Copies of this chain bind each other. A is one copy, B any other.
């Protein structure tokens, strides 16, 4: 069994603390939990998250089940900086992970935690990226996986999950009830549900912050913009920058922007209205399918974090998401629609003055464009059929 060092899980909302060595996924108050662990050292001889940042986790590096998650590129694109009058616009391209989304970081941390607690079964509730990620890491770790997806997920989205050999269930019913039922049943049946905002998934997301800082020589950007669904990823990234600051590796915090699709933006709505409690959003369709969570389990905490750290929350209309996807692809980055919401949000925030001239921004590109091919229909894509003999006339 993998050895877990003594660490705590803390609720930032009510202050309660729990031993990280127990199977505990949320606070008794209902809010999410964060890993408390003081270790901080970077092994610069290693490229992959599990070994490079092992000191930030209460496990031994040699004990991780890793598929080589992390170490993704942060790509600065001058044309967007020029367009917006900014010093820099860079994209942290999380599609360069083993299952082509940021989820692999948190999954790797959850699998390590599950193994440390003696679990042999894992699962998740997801409509795509996280399902594939948990299925892949469970396969790598030799664990049995029980993946639950929403009832409205199309058949074509299931094959890329099933290929990893997991038990795959498409479950009719409200998504947030499914989330809660999975944690309840998991506790009863010995299945570790590595859901979207559980403590070790958020802890894995911290490594996005570590890499952004490292790639910039520990000079943090003015803004970090995160497409936000459950809220686990943005929580983790915030915690990561706080860990760096506490360890003396950085001198200040960036500001954080939560980016959501306007059709499904409960966190943006709560932030704008000064609410402390998320209200369920209408479950409207959005092309940013990967972040259409109408009642996010880390919503309250995300709103609180944004207020505490002078952040922002911006929602993006469908047509701006589609335009951002086209513009990013035409700069060489083909991302899934949800991952293009940050560029749309940055444009809106710049126009409204939230982001100031000359500032720098890093946008988290959470997953690759091949993840959601339905989005091609939103673009006017063209090609032409011809014969070899026609080429001299065509290529001019």
Contact = CB atoms under 8 A, between A and B. Distances in A.
Interface of A: 44-45, 47-48, 66-69, 71-75, 77, 79, 93, 95-100, 123, 132, 136-137, 139-140, 142, 146, 148, 151, 156, 158-165, 168-174, 177-178, 181-182, 185, 189, 191, 215, 326, 329-334, 368-371, 373, 376, 379, 381-392, 394-396
Given A185-B395, A388-B178, A391-B185, A67 B73 contact: yes
Contacts of A326: 163, 165
State how many copies of this chain the complex holds. 2
State the majority secondary structure of interface residues on A: mixed
Contacts of A79: 142
Given A93-B68, A95-B100, A160-B370, A383 B170 contact: yes
A395 to B, nearest CB: 5
A163 B379 contact: yes
A394 B169 contact: yes
Contacts of A215: 47
Contacts of A77: 140
A129 to B, nearest CB: 12
6 contacts: A68-B96, A72-B96, A160-B370, A164-B332, A165-B329, A185-B391
Given A44-B45, A67-B73, A136-B332, 11 more contacts: A68-B72, A72-B96, A136-B329, A160-B369, A162-B382, A164-B330, A165-B326, A171-B385, A171-B387, A185-B392, A189-B395
Contact of A383 (B123, B158, B371): B158
A258 B95 CA distance: 29
